[in-house]
Amino acid sequence: MKIGVFDSGIGGLSVLEYALKALPNEQFIFYADQKHVPYGEKTKEQIMGYVDEIVSFMIKQDVKAIVVACNTATSVAINEIRKKYSIPIIGMEPAVKKAIDLYGDKRVFVTATPVTVKGDKMKYLIEKVDKQHLVDLIPLPKLVRFAEQGIFDSEEVTEYLKEVFQDFNAEEYSSLVLGCTHFNYFKNSFRKVLPETVHFVDGNEGTIHQLIRKLEENDALEMQEPMVTFYSSGEEIVEPEKLAKVNELLSRLERMRQIQ
Ligand code: DGL
């Protein structure tokens, strides 16, 4: 059986990239909801509707687990979908606890989409783990749009980040949480505007470890010929040029993963 991984767009490939390394003998379905991206600027009701559609699509394909490779969708919809289905559904939340545990001696930037930043889940998370009020929350909606347009190493991106961070004294910060999977594409640009002393923290490792634990619990780990089937909003991606683009994105993410 396959493992379903989905996001509003190409951000979730950063989770898939990690999963392919950690689970080299599994088969995956990757679903990018590019008709509806960006989720981070939509209403809760809209996001619930999109997520519901994707999850039923995956359940029809008989997946053994689903990874919501999207912090925004998790923040809005994870409780509802868990109530509806009995297979493991693994969500993602900004790795604030990890950043504070590892680097809580200084302040922490937490970046995410506007919906995630404003959501109740973020409020509870901060209340629980940020006892010393070290966190600054920063919504970065434009990065999602840049990523979906294939704009990565451009002056526009650096200028945007410079503008966002100009009001902060970065020397006071130990780390930056990438609380949206799309942000992984931009670690080199973040590095241009933030000093080496600011470490990047994402939730990919924690999410995939949780997936592995759940599969182990259900005795559902398999040894299969590795394979990924890619979908863009319900349409299978079969064109060689489009698949080559996906592979280019995966290679970029592999390079970005080395930037700590
Ligand atoms: N990649 C998604 C996340 O992790 C959301 C991006 C968007 O669609 O706004 O939050």
Specify the pLDDT at position 236. Answer: 98
What span, in angstroms and rounded, lies between the C-alpha atoms of 135 and 62?
40
Instruction: Output the CA 19–ligand 1 centroid distance in Å.
Output: 18
The verdict on the CB of residue 139 being under 6 Å from ligand 1 is no
Specify the pLDDT at position 167. Answer: 94
Specify the pLDDT at position 212. Answer: 98
Selected catalytic residue, list 67, 180, 246, 253: 180
Over residues 105-160, the pLDDT tens digits come to 999 999 999 999 999 999 999 999 999 999 999 999 999 999 999 999 999 999 99
Specify the pLDDT at position 119. Answer: 97
Over residues 169-189, the pLDDT tens digits come to 999 999 999 999 999 999 999
φ/ψ (deg, to 5) at 259: -85, 115
Asked about 180 being catalytic, the answer comes back as yes
What average pLDDT does this structure show over 14-40? 98
The verdict on the CB of residue 144 being under 6 Å from ligand 1 is yes
Specify the pLDDT at position 217. Answer: 98
What average pLDDT does this structure show over 49-59? 98
Specify the pLDDT at position 161. Answer: 98
The structure tokens 């006892």 sit at 131
Over residues 203-212, the pLDDT tens digits come to 999 999 999 9
Three-class HEC string of the chain: CEEEEEECCHHHHHHHHHHHHHCCCCEEEEEECCCCCCHHHCCHHHHHHHHHHHHHHHHHCCCCEEEECCHHHHHHHHHHHHHHCCCCEECCCCCHHHHHHHHCCCEEEEEECHHHHHCHHHHHHHHHHCCCCCEEEEECHHHHHHHHCCCCCCHHHHHHHHHHHCCCCHHHEEEEEECCHHHHHHHHHHHHHCCCCCEEECCHHHHHHHHHHHHHHCCCCCCCCCEEEEEECCEECCCHHHHHHHHHHHHHHHHHHCCC
Specify the pLDDT at position 125. Answer: 98
Tell if the pTM clears 0.85, that is, is over it.
yes
Over residues 70-85, the pLDDT tens digits come to 999 999 999 999 999 9
Asked about 255 being catalytic, the answer comes back as no
Instruction: Output the CA 201–ligand 1 centroid distance in Å.
Output: 16
